[in-house]
Structure 1
Amino acid sequence: MAPGLPPAMERPHFIGIGGAGMSGIAKILAQRGAKVAGSDAKDSATAEALRALGATVHVGHAAEHLADDASCVVVSSAIRDDNPELVRAAELGVPVVHRSDALAALMDGLRPIAVAGTHGKTTTTSMLAVSLTELGRQPSYAIGGDLDAPGSNALHGEGEIFVAEADESDRSFHKYAPEVAIILNVELDHHANYASMEEIHQSFETFVGRIVPGGTLVISADHEGARELTRRLDGSVRTVTYGEADDADVRILSVVPQGLRSEVTVELDGAPLTFTVSVPGRHYAHNAVAALAAGAALGVPAAELAPALAAYTGVKRRLQLKGEAAGVQVIDSYAHHPTEMTADLEAMRAAAGDARILVVFQPHLFSRTRELGEEMGRSLALADASVVLDVYPAREDPIPGVTSELIIDAARAAGADVAAVHDKARIPEVIAGMAKPGDLVLTMGAGDVTDLGPLILDRLPK
């Protein structure tokens, strides 16, 4: 029953097609029959996955990559005005569409669940996508990370449900009109776009206002930022709270660690319900309960959805085991905000027992490091030892005086064993010299630190 192609998207061209959000939209359009083209700064497994669907993917950005018959150009907020393909689009009069508008068009006519929050969006969206697929609901989904293979971040399904990650970073989630919205937490982040918590709350209020009449908001009862948002709402939207708080509508009664899994018991509609979450950490258990509440709000029986949630075994870069060598396990973490860093380190500590935890951390964005560097440093104190790389700039220009030394100084002040490594190529050698059998090594951050996992494994003694 899924709709066909949205108007004006029969021949879309994506600038930055290899990105997590952009590639998902491109993939769904290709699966719906669009003639998809695009470009990215470098080739990748994601680009290959798109080519396998019939998309044309150019490496590098050049005006000639944009076909004269393109029906639109899709961009994200990271694309600069002087991009040659964007300049060429203006010359040709080709309409420019933000990726959020493209995603909103794909959801039109379906029953969308939009997953928002400062942390946990990718995991929660993935949990819903996997469990609904397990139940045969054939959902469409668009996720900010790959489930189990390059390009698995999105799918055009034949069912009526569309699960989408809703990004607050550039306010693009204001474009969606979900039947069910999830808000996992509300914290200050994305400092280039938000100057205060007041602006963050106003942005999330606007998102809540986009829920369709008769729809439902599922929101945490435990995070203070989310509770404050709930207090600010006017009551016009049906609200279901979840969490460990006594007043939660879906109350978490217990989270019992079982190695790299957890057994979760909730009280739902006055009765206890126990199910398994196949990834470690209390925060992931909370994500699963949010998914359970959202599915129930959409009419999926909780007694069916709860056991299906166990089918979710992780998403790339979310505490993903990269391998083991010389008795040392290497795990990849996307955590780049202090709250995420703390949650992942606490989860690993609970699962690891007496094992040492060594962290390779790469700060992400100068603006985030300036505002949250001290908190990042305190988070690293949860590890037994850490090395910190230079700031990964992504889309930002350097800010004078903002370096990874802000994090290192704060970590040392908190009693952490931490060192700076400015040459990323030295990391495998450094970690091989530190690690002992039984240790856990976490590569942590939202940049290219993820590439170091296989190199560390290769450098460890065979």
Structure 2
Amino acid sequence: MAPGLPTAMDRPHFIGIGGAGMSGIAKILAQRGAKVAGSDAKDSATADALRSLGATVHIGHDAAHLADDASCVVVSSAIREDNPELARAAELGIPVVHRSDALARLMDGLRPIAVAGTHGKTTTTSMLAVSLGALGLDPSYAIGGDLDLPGSNAAHGSGEIFVAEADESDRSFHKYAPEVAIVLNVELDHHANYASIEEIYDSFRIFAGKIVPGGTLVISADQEGARELTARLEGTGIRTVTYGESLDADVRIGAVVAKGLTSDVTVQIDDAPLTFTVSVPGRHYAHNAVAALAAGVALGIPAEELAPAIAAYQGVKRRLQLKGEAAGVQVIDSYAHHPTEMTADLEAMRAGLPEGGRILVLFQPHLFSRTQELGTEMGVALALADASVVLDIYPAREDPVPGVTSELIIDAARNTGADVTAVHGKADAPAVIAGMARPGDLVLTMGAGDVTDLGPLILDRLAQQNR
């Protein structure tokens, strides 16, 4: 039986309760019987899903939203110090808890699997949650994206396993003590918090050092940064299981055979070959699935049982999610916002492209700091598409940086000879990209911001054009 409420979290108030990470913790607490309240900048389907569990969700931030008897206030790194509810908490002496600490408390008494890496975390965490559920193990889980319906990013299960996405962006993954940790890749990102790749390595080394005695680190044998981290962990006593296509991988991928929007993956595990299906396209998703398989085996789940269960995973929102088809054009949504992710998703789409079809990308850069550091690489990645439309930068939590605009990406893409169009008004983009499309093409809305909202509008424009 899963544990109940952590001490002092029976009446939590969440500032930014609608966020991907925050809403998941709020949902689990509500399912465990807490009196959950919180606020968010705007209403959403996620907020409605929390209300259906009995949570009180206020829209807008106001000191009056914080109840005097709240047991704690939960915040993320995105909450600024001048938030009125945070100020009110200080006046009342209410403890302030970072969301990573809250999540760590939810794992107490369970067998945690923490999934880390610069990218691929949401997919791998989702694969584990779905496959373990398919086996009847009823895990608790907290994911950085919805599996399908709003609010499906987390659940309180009756089983002993807790699967969590472990966020390195603000070093919050140092708070967890997993039985099994996964490191998919190690690359320089989150430039507002990390000044160098050395800081990234040090952060992941600390995370690996939090694995409980007798636990296991599952880590890529192929990705350069992961291999470097493995080398730096030699002599620490951490049990390490590597996976990948490298000849020295402990769980070796022998083949990835693309079959449209699925793949058949063959691995050598425990000295025996095993073939299973991954129901999402692309070699990188196949690698995520093998990481999930190795982690489950490290917990004692037989590979021959877990592998077919992984096939039950049908994708997660915003990870190459098919939004629909109109006028012979498929519209697919991609959360990719780092050059490596962009390249992987574009290569995956190219492998499943109908004969004569083209890949058209509507890309929205995410964060000024990321664009400043990786804008050239983003432009090179966009050159893998047949044509692209680039929007203005989605700022999220950041203030503008002088001289940093989408033009950095556009110029880099054009220097490769790529066909790139700049569109500064987001409302104009659906008509532009739909006007470029023809039957057999794939349109990708790509980025971590609100570009995802444009998929249905593009489908509407395509339908109108075909009348």
Structure 2 residue aligned with 1:329:
330
Distance (Å, rounded) in 1 between the aligned partners of 2:247 and 2:98: 41
5 Å matches for 1:218-367?
218-233=218-233, 234-354=235-355, 355-367=357-369
The Cα of 1:29 is off from its aligned counterpart by 0.1
The Cα of 1:415 is off from its aligned counterpart by 1.3
Structure 1 residue aligned with 2:459:
457
Q: Structure 1 unaligned segments of length 5 or more: list them.
A: none
Distance (Å, rounded) in 1 between the aligned partners of 2:146 and 2:278: 19
Supply the AA of the counterpart residue of 1:261: T
Structure 1 residue aligned with 2:143:
143
Supply the AA of the counterpart residue of 1:188: L
Distance (Å, rounded) in 2 between the aligned partners of 1:190 and 1:235: 27
- Of 391, 394, 417 in structure 1, the residue corresponding to residue 393 of structure 2 is 391
| Residues 125, 164 of structure 2: 8 Å contact kept | yes
Supply the AA of the counterpart residue of 2:305: E
SS at match of 2:352: helix
Structure 2 residue aligned with 1:188:
188
Distance (Å, rounded) in 1 between the aligned partners of 2:405 and 2:114: 35
SS at match of 1:352: coil
The Cα of 1:235 is off from its aligned counterpart by 3.8
Distance (Å, rounded) in 2 between the aligned partners of 1:437 and 1:37: 48
Structure 1 residue aligned with 2:65:
65
Supply the AA of the counterpart residue of 1:205: R
For 1:127-166, what per-residue CA distance to the aligned partner results, in whole angstroms no more than 9, with x for missing partners? Answer: 0000000000000000000001000000000000000000
1:411 to 2:383 alignment: no
SS at match of 2:167: coil
Supply the AA of the counterpart residue of 1:342: T
The Cα of 1:269 is off from its aligned counterpart by 1.1
Distance (Å, rounded) in 2 between the aligned partners of 1:194 and 1:429: 38
Distance (Å, rounded) in 2 between the aligned partners of 1:229 and 1:255: 25
| Residues 184, 226 of structure 2: 8 Å contact kept | yes
Supply the AA of the counterpart residue of 1:391: I
Supply the AA of the counterpart residue of 2:272: A
For 1:340-399, what per-residue CA distance to the aligned partner results, in whole angstroms no more than 9, with x for missing partners? Answer: 000000000001143101000000000000000000000000000000000000000000
Structure 2 residue aligned with 1:129:
129
Distance (Å, rounded) in 1 between the aligned partners of 2:302 and 2:20: 31
5 Å matches for 1:208-227?
208-227=208-227
Supply the AA of the counterpart residue of 2:447: G
Aligned Cα RMSD in Å? 0.6
The Cα of 1:414 is off from its aligned counterpart by 1.1
Distance (Å, rounded) in 2 between the aligned partners of 1:193 and 1:91: 29
Supply the AA of the counterpart residue of 1:370: Q
The Cα of 1:66 is off from its aligned counterpart by 0.4
| Residues 354, 440 of structure 2: 8 Å contact kept | no
The Cα of 1:191 is off from its aligned counterpart by 0.2
Structure 1 residue aligned with 2:404:
402
The Cα of 1:432 is off from its aligned counterpart by 2.1
Supply the AA of the counterpart residue of 2:228: E
Distance (Å, rounded) in 2 between the aligned partners of 1:238 and 1:47: 41
The Cα of 1:437 is off from its aligned counterpart by 1.1
For 1:87-120, what per-residue CA distance to the aligned partner results, in whole angstroms no more than 9, with x for missing partners? Answer: 1100111100000000000000000000000010
Distance (Å, rounded) in 2 between the aligned partners of 1:130 and 1:392: 31
SS at match of 1:311: coil
Distance (Å, rounded) in 2 between the aligned partners of 1:457 and 1:392: 22
Number of aligned pairs?
Answer: 462
For 1:243-297, what per-residue CA distance to the aligned partner results, in whole angstroms no more than 9, with x for missing partners? Answer: 0000000000000001110000000011100000000000000000000000000
Identical positions, percent: 85
Distance (Å, rounded) in 1 between the aligned partners of 2:460 and 2:208: 48
Distance (Å, rounded) in 1 between the aligned partners of 2:344 and 2:194: 23
Structure 2 residue aligned with 1:430:
432
Structure 1 residue aligned with 2:163:
163
The Cα of 1:70 is off from its aligned counterpart by 0.3
Supply the AA of the counterpart residue of 1:236: G
Distance (Å, rounded) in 1 between the aligned partners of 2:224 and 2:436: 39
Q: Is the deviation greater in 227-236 or in 332-341?
A: 227-236
Distance (Å, rounded) in 1 between the aligned partners of 2:57 and 2:323: 28
Supply the AA of the counterpart residue of 1:129: A
**TM-score normalised by structure 2 residue count:** 0.98
Distance (Å, rounded) in 2 between the aligned partners of 1:458 and 1:63: 41
Structure 2 residue aligned with 1:17:
17
Supply the AA of the counterpart residue of 1:105: R
Runs of 4+ off more than 4 Å: none
For 1:64-88, what per-residue CA distance to the aligned partner results, in whole angstroms no more than 9, with x for missing partners? Answer: 0000110000000000000010011
Q: Structure 2 unaligned segments of length 5 or more: list them.
A: none
5 Å matches for 1:46-125?
46-125=46-125
Supply the AA of the counterpart residue of 1:136: G
Distance (Å, rounded) in 2 between the aligned partners of 1:51 and 1:111: 29
SS at match of 1:48: helix
